[in-house]
Amino acid sequence: MHQSVLLQESVDALITKADGFYVDGTFGRGGHSRAILGSLGDNGRLLGFDKDPQAVEYAAAEISDDRFELWHGSFAEMRQEVDARGQLGQLNGILLDLGVSSPQLDQADRGFSFMNDGPLDMRMDTSAGETAAEWLNRADQGDIRYVLKVYGEEKFAGLIAKKIVDRRDQQPFERTLDLADFIEQIIPKSVKLKKHAATRSFQAIRIHINQELDDLQRLLADVVDMLAPGGRLVVISFHSLEDRIVKQFIRAQERGPVIPRNIPISTIARDPHLVSVGKAVKAADAEVSENVRSRSAIMRIAEKVLGND
């Protein structure tokens, strides 16, 4: 089962109006969605998103609530679904709890884990797109290197990419443990690692296969248009790249539109679109001791400025 991270803190930050319209962009196993529904009044509504067909099946079987609807797809397409429901500029809150869920990691056949043997899949949306094996067995060496270096901050990205390309024609990559062992053997034994040698590479490949950072950027580009004045964005990230994107986005929205230097700055032009609410929030020690996944979580909250519609 998935243990939701920063559950109470995120729901308290998100809900400002019990009869509002809210979006949970990352339904997972519905931990946050259930808590949101528990805090909403009879006229409140919640629209959930998940890319993973298993999350959709779970929602259909486990949540029966007239105030709730789940849409199968990426949160990057949130704007059109919100618009289709007549809610553009009307949302009271958007929650994102990024990354993978525990069921995704724990099921060996999903291919996310370097601890359990399974097909090298790693797609959150198993109904579409290229698997990790398909990509690794065809991608340019330079692209593999880029993904490992940028998304995994892997020091040995160049070497790992070269060895993958050297091997794959004789013996294509198909299984998670095969790839994990292969990477472990490439990294020099003299290098002291705190985590398994394949941790960074698996994370990088997963981020690439699921276009995780692109989806986040696409969603953020629509946030100001989707929120009602006073509406909130709450994002829980588990990775420094994601958190940097969210932090820089909120900062840019706080500064307001960029004005060319030779144009006099008017009051309107200086208006921010969003303001941060409080500082970044981390899980308390008690939560970290119960759920190790929460240790790397960081939550940021922003609110659409009143009069900005």
Ligand X SMILES: C[S@@+](CC[C@H](N)C(=O)[O-])C[C@H]1O[C@@H](n2cnc3c(N)ncnc32)[C@H](O)[C@@H]1O
Looking at the Cβ atoms of 207 and 224, the one nearer to ligand X is 207
The minimum distance between CB 186 and ligand X, in angstroms, equals 29
Q: CA 234, CA 236: separation in Å to the nearest integer?
A: 7
CB-based burial of residue 165 (10 Å sphere; 0-12 exposed, 13-18 middle, 19+ buried)? middle
The minimum distance between CB 26 and ligand X, in angstroms, equals 3
The minimum distance between CB 108 and ligand X, in angstroms, equals 17
75 is in an annotated binding site: yes
32 is in an annotated binding site: yes
Q: Is 218 helix (H, G, I), strand (E, B) or coil?
A: helix
Q: Is 304 helix (H, G, I), strand (E, B) or coil?
A: strand
Q: CA 24, CA 48: separation in Å to the nearest integer?
A: 5
The minimum distance between CB 125 and ligand X, in angstroms, equals 8
Q: 173: alpha, beta or left, given left = phi > 0 and alpha = psi -120 to 50?
A: beta
Q: Do 219 and 82 contact (CB within 8 A), yes or no?
A: no
Structure token pair of residue 199: 């941790």
152 is in an annotated binding site: no
Looking at the Cβ atoms of 161 and 219, the one nearer to ligand X is 219
**Residue numbers of the site for ligand X (CB under 6 A)?**
2, 4, 26, 28-32, 49-52, 55, 74-76, 97, 99-101, 124, 215
Looking at the Cβ atoms of 50 and 154, the one nearer to ligand X is 50
66 is in an annotated binding site: no
Q: CA 239, CA 284: separation in Å to the nearest integer?
A: 18
The minimum distance between CB 85 and ligand X, in angstroms, equals 17
Query: Between the CA of residue 288 and those of 95, 128, 203, 211, what are the distances in Å?
Result: 21, 35, 21, 28
Looking at the Cβ atoms of 8 and 289, the one nearer to ligand X is 8
31 is in an annotated binding site: yes
Q: CA 144, CA 131: separation in Å to the nearest integer?
A: 14
Looking at the Cβ atoms of 124 and 305, the one nearer to ligand X is 124
Show binding-site residues: 30-32, 50, 75, 97, 104
Show binding-site residues for S-adenosyl-L-methionine: 30-32, 50, 75, 97, 104
